[in-house]
């Protein structure tokens, strides 16, 4: 693989602009090569002479002479360029290269521009790398303090009666068990920390200055935090508390280690890029300046700083020593980044299930036309409640989104906070959707054939219920089959959505809640399943269920729940982040709630007054939501952008894609108004048309998903945000800062 492709493949997505612009420098070299013309024209006789010279008997001596000449030139390399380091006011060194040859001998301004850009890239990379190294050094110091508190807590839990003021005699039985843990509590890569006393009594003083961080996760924790008016809690010195702290530190160390690996790779790839581009420069200009420039690169902060390598060794030592009892083989497993493996059986079964789905769809269409199921009749239940159609379509759109996210290098696993190496790709999602489609279509045909051909009565009507139970059983299956980690992730996020606003709102939470707003028809289908199977004799159609007041009440509530969840999430973020944009977002969902309620009343009662109210409320909600989709969620319609009414940064090279997406969003949002206007389309019943509108809404949501995550990814790129923040277990008292300082001074004595 060529270096340019490998360089692009190894880039950290969110740091693209911080890497050396390899392609930009290659472009300048191409311009230099095009501007350089050979001094002697290549005539046919000259070309023939060069070919015969390859077979000259004295060619070996000639080569040796040229090699000696090249060595002499390289020894005199300082006569070609001169790189001068300049120290700025911020104590940062910048580099400037000056060509020592006359302008007419160096090929014009292009070569000057090459070194100007090369210096600019070197200074940029050095500045970025220095800032990131300073960040990880500060984070390492914080993790060091966390490890001090953790080891002290472990000593205290294992020896409840010990006190920091105990005599040497009381400490004697503890030494043999804790000496190894105390001596290894360091970030110096296994070197013993002599600042710690051997008996561990000073280490226990840390517990007087720390509390356990309470992240207020969950309804109970939030209520307790409100009543106690405190976000932190005192140490209880229990084994459960120690286990919780240990798990949090494991996650923190793992994420920190991955950050260090990315920084190390950043340094390596940029150093390789400078070496490669200088090699290309020599090849293009026949001047040997690579050795001189690479000496400067190696002496720069990028090439000389070994802090990251030391921290990697330190983290490995501390992590293995304290969390895996010095078992390096087991301890390194969670530290090493996991890569998702492509499996051939996924591709095989995807093709198999998709082929079966196509055949079943053809069979269903023929059955519908032959039996005239679309007409009003006793079997309308199967058409009115196509629950799995909505789910399968949504999963297919999600698979398409993943494919294009991956193609345009949107780092969706990081944005969604998926476990590294365990995220589902578009092949896996497509496999699940195709398998579910086969199950749903096969049950439809079996149900209908049993009902019409075999006359099995009400028993055949239980088949849709059995399919629903199988689907729920697979979703909540506790066994490690069918992507258990992804299923649990979905269940956990769904639970956090239901419990809003008691959980801190993250992007996966509100992203999933937004998906639920496009699945109102599917949620209402579940309500109909409950009504249908709870009645004796299984009444046909929704018209029968609408005779029950409880059903109508839940018909309102279920449609409102997804929008209300998003509204509560926005309120939680407004209170927590103090950003008023979340208040405007909450107003958007509140308007949607009002529109859904009025529209549902009109659907059940009709009447001119309700129709006018439904039209007004729906039009306002559609206008507000459309504006928010395009301007806020997608970040488009920027007046001062270099791309007309788009963003400055676009991942898709064809700008027309964004304009088409905006138009489609407006049209598909406007389709929501059909529930009020009730257009009559020839050949389609009301239920079939409503199903079509629901499917269009799911398609609109799939398009929205791509551009929403693209905008989020570009925001991360703009802030160079490539790591997730991990909460640490301990919090040092602010009021005891002086005590902390004295504690640090004692350690330094």
Residue 433 has pLDDT above 90, yes or no: yes
Rounded Cα gap, residues 307 and 187, in angstroms:
12
Which residue, 337, 294, 339, is CA-closest to 312?
Answer: 337
Beta strands in 26-142, from DSSP E residues, in sequence order: 81-87, 93-99
How would residue 371 be classed by pLDDT, with cut points 50, 70 and 90?
low
pLDDT at position 259: 92
Query: pLDDT: is 341 or 488 the higher one?
Result: 488
- Is residue 653 over pLDDT 60? yes
pLDDT for the residue numbered 79: 58
pLDDT at 27 over 60: yes
Looking at mean pLDDT, say which of 190-204, 447-461, 603-617 comes out highest. 603-617
Q: From start to end of 484-538, where are the E strands?
A: none
Q: Which residues pair with 95 in a beta bridge?
A: 85
pLDDT higher than threshold 90 for residue 317: yes
Q: Is the pLDDT of residue 568 over 80?
A: yes
Is 90 exceeded by the pLDDT of residue 657? yes
Could you tell me which of 420, 290, 500 has the C-alpha nearest to residue 412? 420
Q: What is the pLDDT of residue 107?
A: 57
Percent of the chain with pLDDT over 90: 40
606 dihedral zone (left: phi>0; alpha: psi -120 to 50; beta): left
What letters, b where the CB count within 10 A reaches 16 and e where it falls short, cover 480-498? eeebeebbebeeebeebbe
pLDDT for 604 beyond 50: yes
pLDDT at residue 239 is higher than 60: yes
Distance of CA 342 to the CA centre of its chain: 19
DSSP annotation string for 173-205: HHHHHHHHHHHT--SSTT---TTS-TT-TTGGG
CA 439 to chain centre: 31
Average pLDDT over residues 501-525: 91
Do residues 389 and 696 lie in contact, with contact meaning Cβ atoms separated by under 8 Å?
no
343 pLDDT more than 90: no
Instruction: Classify the phi-psi angles of 56: left when phi > 0, otherwise alpha if psi is within -120 to 50, otherwise beta.
Output: beta
Give the pLDDT band of residue 175 (cuts 50, 70, 90): very low
pLDDT band at 738 (very low <50, low <70, confident <90, very high): very low
Tokens of 53: 């010279």
What does the alpha-carbon distance between residue 54 and residue 338 come to, in Å, rounded to a whole number?
52
pLDDT at 122 over 80: yes
Q: What is the pLDDT of the chain when averaged over all its residues? A: 80
Compute the distance between CA of residue 678 and CA of residue 686 in angstroms, rounded to an integer. Answer: 8
pLDDT digits (tens, 9 = 90+) for 82-110: 888 887 766 788 888 887 776 655 556 77
Calpha distance 670→693 (Å, rounded): 10
Q: Is the pLDDT of residue 535 over 50?
A: yes
pLDDT tens, position by position, 256-286: 999 999 999 999 999 999 999 999 988 888 8
pLDDT at position 66 is: 47
- CB 141 within 8 Å of CB 229: no
Edge-to-edge strand order for the sheet containing 232-233? 232-233, 210-213, 730-732
How far apart are the C-alpha atoms of 741 and 503, rounded to whole Å?
35
| pLDDT the model gives residue 666 | 94
Contact 93, 130 (CB under 8 A): no
420 pLDDT band, cuts 50/70/90, is: confident
Pair type for strands 210-213 and 232-233 = antiparallel
Q: What is the DSSP string of 148-170?
A: HHHHHHHHHHH-TT--TT--HHH
Which candidate, 107, 137, 110, 84, places its Cα nearest to that of 36?
A: 107
Q: What is the pLDDT of residue 67?
A: 46
Gap between the Cα atoms of 333 and 308, Å rounded: 20
Taken in order 572, 573, 577, 580, the sign of the CA dihedral is negative
pLDDT at residue 308 above 90?
Answer: yes
Give the chain's length: 749
Whole-number Å distance between alpha carbons of 56 and 342: 55
How confident is the model at residue 510, as a pLDDT? 94
Give the Cα-Cα-Cα angle 223, 226, 232 (nearest 5 degrees). 100
Q: How confident is the model at residue 500, as a pLDDT?
A: 85
- Please tell me the predicted confidence (pLDDT) of residue 19: 93
| Residue with the two structure tokens 């949501």 | 701
Q: Which of 541, 562, 533, 509 is nearest to 697 (CA)?
A: 562
**Greatest C-alpha distance within the chain:** 106
What pLDDT digit, counting tens, does each position of 661-681 carry? 999 999 999 887 776 666 555
Exposed/middle/buried for residue 60 (C-beta within 10 Å: 0-12, 13-18, 19+): exposed
**Which range (321-325, 602-606, 672-676, 691-695) has the least confidence?**
672-676
Using pLDDT thresholds of 50, 70 and 90, give the confidence band for residue 459: low
- Whether residue 378 is predicted with pLDDT greater than 50 in this model: the reply is no
Q: Which residue carries 């309308």 as its tokens?
A: 380
Whole-angstrom distance, CA of residue 518 vs CA of residue 508: 16
CA distances from 104 to 100, 110, 284, 474, 505 (A): 12, 12, 16, 75, 63
- Strand ranges (E), 495-539: none
Q: What is the pLDDT of residue 681?
A: 52
For the ranges 448-452, 503-507, 553-557, 631-635, the one whose mean pLDDT is highest: 631-635
């Amino acid at each position: 693989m060529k270096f340019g492709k490998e360089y692009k493949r190894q880039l950290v997505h969110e740091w693209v602009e911080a890497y050396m612009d390899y392609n930009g420098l290659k472009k300048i070299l191409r311009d230099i090569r095009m501007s350089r013309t050979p001094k002697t024209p290549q005539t046919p006789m000259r070309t023939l002479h060069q070919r015969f010279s390859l077979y000259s008997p004295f060619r070996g001596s000639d080569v040796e002479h040229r090699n000696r000449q090249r060595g002499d030139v390289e020894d005199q390399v300082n006569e070609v360029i001169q790189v001068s380091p300049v120290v700025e006011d911020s104590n940062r060194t910048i580099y400037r290269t000056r060509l020592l040859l006359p302008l007419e001998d160096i090929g014009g301004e292009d070569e000057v521009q090459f070194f100007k850009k090369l210096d600019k890239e070197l200074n940029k990379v050095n500045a970025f790398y220095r800032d990131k190294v300073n960040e990880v050094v500060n984070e390492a110091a914080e993790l060091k303090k966390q490890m001090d508190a953790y080891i002290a807590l472990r000593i205290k839990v294992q020896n409840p009666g010990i006190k920091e003021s105990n005599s040497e005699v009381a400490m004697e039985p503890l030494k043999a068990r804790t000496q190894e843990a105390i001596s290894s509590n360091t970030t110096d890569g296994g070197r013993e920390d002599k600042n710690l006393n051997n008996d561990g009594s000073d280490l226990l003083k840390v517990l007087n200055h720390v509390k356990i961080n309470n992240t207020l996760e969950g309804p109970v924790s939030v209520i307790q935090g409100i009543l106690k008016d405190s976000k932190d809690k005192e140490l209880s010195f229990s084994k459960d508390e120690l286990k919780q702290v240990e798990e949090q530190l494991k996650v923190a160390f793992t994420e920190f280690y991955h950050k260090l690996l990315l920084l190390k790779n950043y340094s390596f790839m940029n150093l390789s890029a400078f070496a490669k581009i200088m090699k290309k420069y020599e090849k293009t200009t026949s001047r040997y300046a690579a050795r001189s420039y690479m000496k400067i690169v190696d002496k720069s902060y990028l090439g000389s700083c070994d802090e990251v390598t030391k921290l990697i060794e330190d983290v490995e030592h501390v992590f293995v020593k304290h969390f895996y009892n010095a078992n390096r083989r087991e301890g390194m497993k969670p530290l090493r980044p996991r890569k998702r493996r492509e499996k051939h059986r996924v591709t095989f079964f995807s093709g198999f299930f998709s082929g079966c789905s196509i055949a079943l769809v053809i069979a269903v269409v023929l059955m519908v036309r032959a039996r005239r199921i679309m007409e009003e009749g006793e079997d309308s239940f199967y058409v009115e409640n196509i629950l799995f159609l909505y789910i399968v379509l949504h999963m297919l759109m999600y698979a398409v989104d993943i494919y294009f996210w991956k193609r345009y290098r949107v780092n969706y696993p990081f944005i969604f906070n998926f476990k590294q190496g365990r995220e589902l790709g578009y092949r896996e999602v497509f496999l699940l959707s195709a398998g579910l489609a086969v199950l749903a279509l096969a049950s439809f045909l079996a149900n209908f054939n049993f009902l019409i051909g075999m006359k099995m009565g009400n028993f055949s009507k239980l088949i849709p219920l059995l399919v629903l139970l199988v689907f729920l059983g697979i979703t909540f299956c506790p066994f490690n089959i069918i992507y258990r980690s992804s299923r649990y992730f979905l269940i956990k996020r769904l639970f956090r959505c239901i419990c809003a606003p008691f959980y801190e709102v993250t992007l996966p939470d509100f992203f999933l809640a937004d998906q639920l707003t496009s699945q109102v028809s599917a949620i209402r289908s579940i309500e109909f399943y409950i009504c249908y199977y709870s009645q004796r004799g299984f009444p046909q159609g929704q018209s029968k269920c609408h005779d029950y007041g409880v059903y109508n009440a839940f018909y309102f509530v279920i449609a409102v729940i997804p929008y209300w969840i998003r509204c509560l999430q926005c309120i939680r973020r407004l209170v927590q982040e103090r950003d008023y944009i979340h208040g405007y977002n909450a107003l958007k969902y509140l308007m949607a709630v009002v529109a859904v309620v009025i529209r549902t009343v009109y659907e059940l009662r009709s009447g001119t007054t309700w129709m006018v109210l439904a039209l007004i409320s729906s039009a306002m909600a559609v206008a507000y939501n459309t504006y928010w989709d395009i301007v806020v969620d997608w970040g488009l319609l920027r007046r001062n952008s270099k791309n007309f009414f788009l963003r400055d940064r676009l991942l898709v090279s064809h700008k027309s894609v964004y304009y088409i997406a905006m138009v489609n969003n407006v049209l598909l949002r406007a389709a929501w108004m059909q529930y009020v206007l009730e257009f009559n389309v020839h050949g389609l019943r009301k239920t079939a048309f409503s199903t079509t509108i629901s499917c269009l809404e799911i398609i609109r949501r799939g398009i929205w998903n791509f551009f929403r995550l693209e905008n989020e990814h570009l925001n991360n790129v703009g802030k160079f945000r490539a790591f997730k923040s991990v909460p640490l277990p301990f919090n040092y008292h602010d009021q005891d800062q002086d005590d902390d300082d004295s504690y640090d001074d004692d350690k330094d004595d």
